[in-house]
Amino acid sequence: MKGIFSALLVPFDDQGRIKEQGLREVIRNNIDVQQVDGLYVNGSSGENFMLTTDQKKQIFKITHEETNGAIKLIAQVGSINLDEAVELGKYATELGYDSLSAVTPFYYKFTFDEIKNYYETIIEATGNNMIIYAIPALTGVSMSLEQFDVLFQNEKVIGVKYTDGNFFMLERLRKKYPNKLIYSGFDEMLIYGAVSGVDGAIGSTYNIHGNLAKQIFEMVEQGEVARAYEVQHIMNDIIEKVLELGLYQTLKEILNVKGIDAGTVKQPMSPFDSGKREAVEKLVKDFNL
C-alpha cells in the first residue's frame, strides 16, 4: 500500500453523466503511462461530493474492473450521511478494494467523539481497513496528536491521508506511528513529505505527472534530495499553470489534448474555457506531458 496514488479524475458529459469509456482511458493512462502504484477512488478529485450514491458505485465498479488487480485501490466512502458511507463501504469491500478511506465528517461542528463513532461505525459494518482523510482546509476539522492517537488505537485504522501544511504535526505522527501508513496529500509539497518519511502520496495532478512524483520518491530514498528538488520544481511549474487555468478543468483538458477522453467537470463547476485551449496545448508540449 506504499507509493504514488492518483486521486482519480472522473470524466463527465455535458449532462453530468459518467463517461464509462473515458473513465477506463483515464485509468489506463494512470497504469500504463504514469505507472502509479494505486488509485484513490471517489475523492475530491473525482468530484465525489456532487455525485449520487449510484454514480459513486458505478465508478467503484468500473475502476475495479479496469485495474483488474494491477494496482492497489483505496475507496473513499466518506459522506456527511453515515448511512451512505456504510453502504458505499460495504459495496467497495465486496468488490475487493484494498482499503477504505473516509473524509472527516464536515459542515456541522461535530465533536471528536462523533467523528470517532463515524469511523468506528464504517469499520464495524464493513470489516475493512480504514485510512483517515484529514483535510482541514476543506472540512474545518483539525485533529490533535492525541486525537489521532485515539483513532490509531483501532488496528483497522491503518493510516492517514494527510492533506495539511502542518509539517510539525506530520513529523510527530511519523515518529510516534512508524507502523501506520502516512500519505502526503499536497502535490506541490511532495518532497517535504518524502523527506519526512511518508509512505506515499495521493494527489490529483498525478493523473498527468505521476511519473515525476515517483521520481521524487525514488530520489529521496536514494539520498539524492537535491535532484529530487529539481523534479519538484518542474512539477510545481506545471501545477502553478494548472491552478492558474483552473484545477480540475485543466487536468481534464490536458488529458483531452493527449487523446484521452477526460470529458468535462460536473456542475455547478464551470466547464473548461475553450479560449484557454492554446495555453493547455503549450503546457503539454513544453513539459512533454
Binding site annotation covers 94? no
**Location of C-alpha cell 468530484:** 47
Q: Tell me whether residue 202 is exposed, middle or buried, using C-beta atoms within 10 angstroms of its C-beta: 0 to 12, 13 to 18, 19 or more.
A: buried
**Location of C-alpha cell 509539497:** 189
Binding site annotation covers 185? yes
Binding site annotation covers 139? no
* Residues forming a β-bridge with 182: 160
Direct distance between the N- and C-terminal alpha carbons of the chain, in angstroms, rounded to an integer: 26
Q: Please, which residues have CB within 8 angstroms of residue 53's CB and are 6 or more apart in sequence?
A: 84, 87, 88
Residue 257: other Cβ atoms inside 10 A: 17
Binding site annotation covers 202? yes
Q: Is 259 left (phi over 0), alpha (psi -120 to 50) or beta?
A: left
> Closest by alpha carbon to 3, among 39, 37, 40?
37
Q: What are the C-alpha distances in Å from 48 to residues 44, 120, 121, 158, 188?
A: 6, 22, 21, 23, 22
Active site residues: 133, 161
Binding site annotation covers 187? yes
Binding site annotation covers 230? no
| Binding-site residues from annotation for pyruvate | 202
Task: Provide the annotated binding site.
Answer: 44-45, 163, 185, 187-188, 202, 204
Q: Which residues are annotated as a binding site for aceneuramate?
A: 44-45, 163, 185, 187-188, 204
